Amino acid sequence: MSAILEPPPLLRYGEPGFFEAYGAAWGFRDTLIGFYAEDGTYTDKASNVTVQGHAMLGRFMKVYLGFSPRCTVTFTHWMATERGFAAEWIWAGSNDGPLRLHGLASPQDGSPWRIEGISLCTVNAQGRIQTHVDYWDSDHLLRTWRR
């Protein structure tokens, strides 16, 4: 895993390089927020978390990056339409900071993990993400906490 050191460009959906930039944005709080509509929502089905709007997305990202500040998201395949996309991804990082998930605490020992998942997203007329829903196997991450 090699973390991206510089924030990616803020692109609108449909622009060349969107998926690469959006994946890289998951390592940069303010850049990621810019990809979303002001009232956009992010839902993580594995942890049963939904946040709406830039302020709440910022709070979510503080926890997310506190847990694994050098994590990466790489979109590997996607199907795009005018109104949104479905994308497969790989989320990789290490257990560096605090996180509680399903009653368990991360070990904060730097141990690595790699998770595969899928996102279903809609976009607004301005090319910003309106809804983003992630599906992934939380038990896979929890197994790295029980080693």
Summarize pLDDT for 64-95 with one digit per residue, the tens. Answer: 999 999 899 999 999 999 999 999 999 999 99
- For residue 141, the model assigns a pLDDT of 92
Cβ atoms of 19 and 75 within 8 Å: the answer is yes
Angle at 144 between CA 141 and CA 147, to 5 degrees: 155
109: pLDDT strictly greater than 60 = yes
Q: What is the pLDDT of residue 2?
A: 52
Q: What pTM does this model have?
A: 0.92
- Reported as a pLDDT band with limits 50, 70 and 90, residue 146 is confident
